[in-house]
Amino acid sequence: MHRLLRAAASSCEPARVRGVLYRADGYPGIVLDPGAGWVVGELYLLRDPSVLETLDAYEGAGAHDPEPREFQRVRTMVEPVGQAPLPAWIYAYGWSVEGLPVIESGDFLEGAR
- Consecutive sets of 10 residues in the chain, 113 residues long: mean pLDDT of each? 88 96 95 97 92 94 93 97 96 97 94 53
Q: Residue 113's pLDDT is what?
A: 47
Sign of torsion, CA 60 66 71 72? positive
Nearest-angstrom CA–CA distance, 36 and 54: 30
- Domain of residue 21, residue span: 2-111
Q: pTM for the whole thing? A: 0.91
Question: Given this model, what pLDDT does residue 36 score?
Answer: 97
CATH number at residue 61: 3.10.490.10
DSSP alpha helix (H) spans, the chain? 2-8, 51-59, 108-111
Query: Total domain count for the chain?
Result: 1
